[in-house]
C-alpha cells in the first residue's frame, strides 16, 4: 500500500537523512513530503538538498518551504532576514556550497519552487502552522513558516490533521488535531531526525540514530 511520509527540519544533517531514507525504503507508490529547513547549522546543506531532489526519481515528492529557506530567499533584500540567515546557521550553508553566491547558482530554482503546504483528504503538511479561521489560500506565509505556540496551543478548525515541524521537542508531540515531528535534528548534536508515516490507517514514526 502507498505510504505518506513526512520529514522536516533536516538542517544539513546529511547522514541522518540518508539513514532514515534507507530505513523507510520508499517505493514508487509512496509520497514523501519534505517540510522545509533543509539547510543551516549542519555541515552538509548542499548534500541534503541534492539528496531530497534526487528522491523524486524514486517516489513522489513534495517540497515545502521552511523558515530557514524563507530567510535565505529574503536575505538579499531585507536586513532582518539577512541577520536571521547569518546568525542561525547560514555560515555553515555558505561553506557547504563554497560561497553564499553558489547557493543560488546551484539550487536557486529549487528554493524558489518550494510550496507553502501540501493537503490531502486526511492531512495538512506545513512547516510551522496556520492561523485558525483563515482560509488556507489566505494564510500569511510568514506565519506558516515561523509561528509556534500561537498555533500548537490552540485547536484548529480544519477536517485534516496537521503535521508540522519548526518547534523542536524531545520526541514527536501528538495532539488530537496535530502532530509535531521536529525532534531537534541539527540544532542539538545528539537529537535524531524523525519521519512521520501514515500507512493503512496507521500512524507511526521512524528516527535516525545519532550518526555523525
Cα 24-30-33 angle, rounded to 5 deg: 80
148 vs 36: CA distance, rounded Å: 15
How long a stretch of residues is the chain? 212
The whole-number pLDDT of residue 211 equals: 55
165 vs 125: CA distance, rounded Å: 9
* Helical H segments across the chain, by residue range: 14-24, 45-54, 67-73, 79-87, 90-97, 100-112, 141-146, 149-152
**Domain regions of the chain by residue span:** 4-207
In this predicted model, what pLDDT tens digit does every residue of 60-95 receive, in sequence order?
999 999 999 999 999 999 999 999 999 999 999 999
The whole-number pLDDT of residue 209 equals: 87
Q: What is the dihedral of CA 104, 34, 160, 206, to 10 degrees?
A: -160
Grid coordinates representing 81 are 532576514
Radius of gyration in angstroms for the set of CA atoms belonging to the chain, rounded to a whole number: 16
* Tally of CA atoms within 13 A in the half-sphere of 41 that contains its CB: 19
The whole-number pLDDT of residue 189 equals: 83
To the question of pTM greater than 0.85 for the whole model, the response is: yes
CATH fold of 4-207: Purple Acid Phosphatase; chain A, domain 2 (3.60.21)
Query: What pLDDT tens digit does each residue of the chain (212 aa) get?
Result: 799 999 999 999 999 999 999 999 999 999 999 999 999 999 999 999 999 999 999 999 999 999 999 999 999 999 999 999 999 999 999 999 999 999 999 999 999 999 999 999 999 999 999 999 999 999 999 999 999 999 999 999 999 999 999 999 999 999 999 999 999 999 998 899 999 999 999 999 999 986 55
Amino acid at each position: 500500500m502507498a505510504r505518506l511520509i513526512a520529514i522536516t527540519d533536516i538542517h544539513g544533517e546529511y547522514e541522518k537523512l540518508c539513514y532514515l531514507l534507507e530505513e523507510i525504503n520508499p517505493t514508487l507508490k509512496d509520497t514523501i513530503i519534505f517540510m522545509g529547513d533543509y539547510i543551516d547549522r549542519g555541515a552538509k546543506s548542499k548534500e541534503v538538498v541534492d539528496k531530497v531532489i534526487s528522491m523524486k526519481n524514486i517516489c513522489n515528492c513534495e517540497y515545502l518551504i521552511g523558515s530557514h529557506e524563507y530567510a535565505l530567499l529574503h536575505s538579499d533584500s531585507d536586513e532582518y532576514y539577512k541577520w536571521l540567515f547569518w546568525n542561525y546557521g547560514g555560515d555553515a550553508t555558505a561553506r557547504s556550497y563554497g560561497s553564499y553566491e553558489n547557493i543560488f547558482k546551484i539550487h536557486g530554482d529549487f528554493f524558489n519552487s518550494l510550496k507553502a503546504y501540501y493537503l490531502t483528504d486526511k492531512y495538512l503538511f506545513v512547516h510551522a502552522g496556520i492561523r485558525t479561521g483563515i482560509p488556507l489560500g489566505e494564510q500569511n506565509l510568514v506565519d506558516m513558516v515561523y509561528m509556534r505556540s500561537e498555533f500548537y496551543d490552540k485547536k484548529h478548525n480544519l477536517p485534516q490533521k496537521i503535521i508540522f515541524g519548526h518547534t523542536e521537542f524531545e520526541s514527536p508531540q501528538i495532539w488530537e488535531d496535530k502532530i509535531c515531528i521536529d525532534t531537534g535534528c541539527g540544532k542539538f548534536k545528539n537529537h535524531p531526525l524523525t519521519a512521520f508515516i501514515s500507512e493503512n490507517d496507521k500512524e507511526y514514526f521512524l528516527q535516525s540514530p545519532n550518526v555523525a
